[in-house]
Amino acid sequence: MTHTSSKRALQDLGEVKSVTDFLAKIYPHVNGKSNYLFRGHRRSDWALKPAIARSGSSAALEAEMLDEFKRRALPYIEAGSTLSDADWLAIAQHHGMPTRLLDWSGSALAALWFAVRKAPADGQFGAVWILRYEDAGDTDFADEGERNEPFRVRETRLIPPRHVTRRITAQEGWFSLHRRAEPGSSPAFVSLETNQRFSERLYFVTIPSDAFGPIRVQLGMAGIGAAVLFPDLDGIAQHVTWIYQSPDDELRTRVGWPRD
């Protein structure tokens, strides 16, 4: 397995092959404190960039997408809700639209599930990233002005959750709100692991491909799965499919589980 930078390699906490192994690896660094966020990747070489950075959309198109989403989504939003544009981005993000937000979770096990929820990509390692945020002075967090005008942020910020959807609540969802570089600059968005403000506070563990299935089953036994993290019909459908159509990488682990 390769890493994208020497700094990134220095923050590698090692491989994990089970839920117990995962918790044992991260605990000395987290040490029971609450100011840590977690993010799971199916591939360890994926950068910590928001989806809009991978789509190549311009700043103007990004704003148009949000306006169109708000216009069409309004009938599905609870009456009386007062939402900032950052809240609208969070809702759009959780329903599959590429935005300048990157999902994080306050739950280490939820992040681990997102890393292994699907079979590994061509034998690649997965990863769970760990980010320590600073409480003092709230300098890491978006203020009200940045929440209301997220496209104007000059620095990457963190957004604590406002429970505007059940999915965000169930996943203990947080977000990093990424600034766009000046027009003509490349890249348009800086990966969090190369952002000087955050890079020294990032750690990660890697997950070998042969551990995805066993970890998925162990998380299921602990009540971490689609039905819990997606508390809607989509989540139930995913969960039932998982029970009765076991992925190949789980077969030896799931002895005695119901299957068609």
pTM: 0.89
Q: What percent of the chain has a predicted confidence (pLDDT) above 90?
A: 67
Residue 177, helix vs strand vs coil: strand
pLDDT, tens digit, for every residue of 138-194? 689 999 999 999 999 999 999 987 878 888 999 999 999 999 988 777 788 989 999
Residue 25, helix vs strand vs coil: helix
pLDDT, tens digit, for every residue of 188-219? 898 999 998 899 899 999 999 999 999 999 99
pLDDT band at 38 (very low <50, low <70, confident <90, very high): very high
Q: Is the pLDDT of residue 83 over 70?
A: yes
pLDDT score at 144: 94
CA distance 213 to 38: 20
Q: Count other Cβ atoms within 10 Å, centred on residue 142.
A: 23
**What secondary structure letter does DSSP report for 36?**
E
Q: Count other Cβ atoms within 10 Å, centred on residue 114.
A: 21
| Mean pLDDT calculated for residue range 16-38 | 92
pLDDT, tens digit, for every residue of 111-121? 999 999 999 98
Q: What percent of the chain has a predicted confidence (pLDDT) above 70?
A: 90
pLDDT score at 5: 42
Instruction: Identify the bridge partners of residue 205 per DSSP, sorted by sequence position.
Output: 128
Q: Are 26 and 205 in contact (CB under 8 A)?
A: yes
CA distances from 54 to 11, 27, 34, 88 (A): 25, 32, 31, 20
- Which contacts qualify for 238-242: CB closer than 8 Å, 24 or more apart? none
Average pLDDT, the chain: 88
Instruction: Please name which of 242, 77, 69, 95 lies closest in space to residue 173, comparing C-alpha atoms.
Output: 95
